[in-house]
Structure 1
């Protein structure tokens, strides 16, 4: 079947049908384990599997799916070689990379996301990461489920809920994305101010979004604090990628590290990153407190700590990601007088975190990715003047 025929076949199915998945891994035992975990979710069906990228591509022509779980290291054609072909030939299909947790595979996984993969999972028992099979299963199922829905929207099988964004009459609405009537999200007034710090939270699709926002933002004097849901090693590599991409120093936060003007600080994997005032200095503190929203690092604790230090002089941005991390912390920030921006549904890989923030009524603007960096800069440099 051609890719066009595959798309038509996929479009003919009901959006209530189980999400169709292909598992690609050279190890038969791993394919079996992943397939069982996904099938047990009830709303996911593993309809195909393959031992290498070449066989996966051949199967995709005959058996269209919405999500491919793709191993990196395989014989004949590995995952990084197969990925661009999948993305090109099956543009509505979402790809989740699966790998062991090593520095090399972290590099490859981030490269894969630049090439079109939507997300990644690290296999249980990976070196350097102690995680249970239950934790891995929850993560795998949630990502496949969310990305399956995103694939259906791409294919036109599951239309985004129509949304009206209603702004306070006291603020300009030119930047507000207005859609057809349906659910209504009320935007808070965006008042002119120049923040002393910038905060960004992200998850699924976040690395790509972060690169775009930080490039568009350019040089600013304010420190930037980022929590991206990622395991150790991956956050180390992400910090390096951000530094190379932006030409600015980006580091993983460390306990006792002094916050400097213009610095970019990324929460390290398996640690919550908090910001404290100490002896007249602003410093970073890492904790191993329990996960919040099933995540460590999590956005909420970072935002609560930033609110305590910066109060009304904080600008928060919530980018693409699953779940609702950032909403509770964002409410704390709003109550202290800070302001919140969010990425819109059309440009988000998954409109979970930004959608939850918008629905909670804490956002001053909901914008496409290509406008977010410019909007942050408008406040950071120009004080929010039009």
Structure 2
């Protein structure tokens, strides 16, 4: 099997060199070209036929979003967005994900070292290279938020929904939350994403969904109608005090090269919620969440994995299924319906 061919597009010569050096260390990856702007990138794509493109959003001559839109229309490729850790950069990165980009990566800086970047960069390139197809973006596809509700749950049987995702997960999570009613049980969600980007991700979902969606802060209560997104660079754990569920947000070692980690969340949900939990594992590369989902199942939780046909990368769900952790394997569009069925 040949090496994965990568094109690096960035207006910074320093970033181009850092990326080239980091990628070239890996025996299975190869930089086939670099470009300082989208016009040169266009020519390099035609010449080099890369498997994956890393794309800076803020560039001269043509911004990254405009180029991405054209690229997805004429020559769709797996694209990893590279953005600054700023509110503007985070918003633009999320717009890029809507346009078809598959991953987002923060530029190296004071909060994100080159060492951190190297590990994340090569893992994201490998994940992107596994994508077999890219779904066309259809802006009219999102349904209106449901207006019906789920039958009230007694406080002693308060349910919790725990969701984990990685590559392709921003769209998958959106699909699930858009189809849940405003009185759904509290949700706790891990999406592998850098810091700051999770803030923008939660804010965008909050505008779109019937549920309240926010980036979790340490001690936040898990409430009916509320979804908490784990902040980038921190683990999130579910805790219980009497009848109250809340989250603990904390530092800690990487788990499966990730922080936040789905396994950390799912293991805590197994301990704190037991049979009152529903666990959902969505698209993503690697095995994060498989062990935690098995722990949830063994404690009586109901567990669901996304199926291969609807995954952007069938990695995390595949590992959960192999371990026997998933009680149901469903396409993405049937997962909200199954959650509602279990709760009714």
Fold similarity call, TM over 0.5: yes
- 2:221 aligned with 1:258, yes or no? yes
Pick from 257, 267, 277 the counterpart of residue 240 of structure 2: 277
Runs of 4+ in 1 over 4 A off after TM superposition: none
Pick from 126, 129, 133 the counterpart of residue 154 of structure 1: 133
What are the within-5 Å matches in structure 2 for residues 182-221 of structure 1? 196-221=159-184
Pick from 102, 107, 124 the counterpart of residue 91 of structure 2: 107
CA contact (8 A) 1:71 1:99 kept: yes
Pick from 42, 48, 55 the counterpart of residue 70 of structure 1: 55
Aligned mates of 2:225, 2:270 — CA distance in 1: 19
What are the within-5 Å matches in structure 2 for residues 1-386 of structure 1? 16-91=1-76, 93-125=77-109, 127=110, 129=111, 131-150=112-131, 153-154=132-133, 196-380=159-343, 382=344
CA contact (8 A) 1:53 1:81 kept: no
The Cα shift of 1:280 comes to 4.0
Aligned mates of 2:50, 2:165 — CA distance in 1: 27
Aligned mates of 2:281, 2:236 — CA distance in 1: 16
Aligned mates of 1:251, 1:154 — CA distance in 2: 31
Aligned mates of 2:17, 2:220 — CA distance in 1: 45
In the superposition, relative to structure 1, how do residues 359 and 84 fare at CA in structure 2: closer, same or farther (>3 Å)? same
The Cα shift of 1:195 comes to 7.3
The Cα shift of 1:244 comes to 0.8
1:269-296 alpha-carbon deviations (Å, 9 max, x no partner): 2221122222542222222122211211
Q: Which runs of 5+ in 2 are unaligned?
A: 135-156
Aligned mates of 1:241, 1:67 — CA distance in 2: 27
TM-score, normalising length from structure 2? 0.89
Aligned mates of 2:158, 2:307 — CA distance in 1: 22
Aligned mates of 1:208, 1:221 — CA distance in 2: 20
The Cα shift of 1:134 comes to 2.4
The Cα shift of 1:253 comes to 1.9
SS state at 1:311 partner: helix
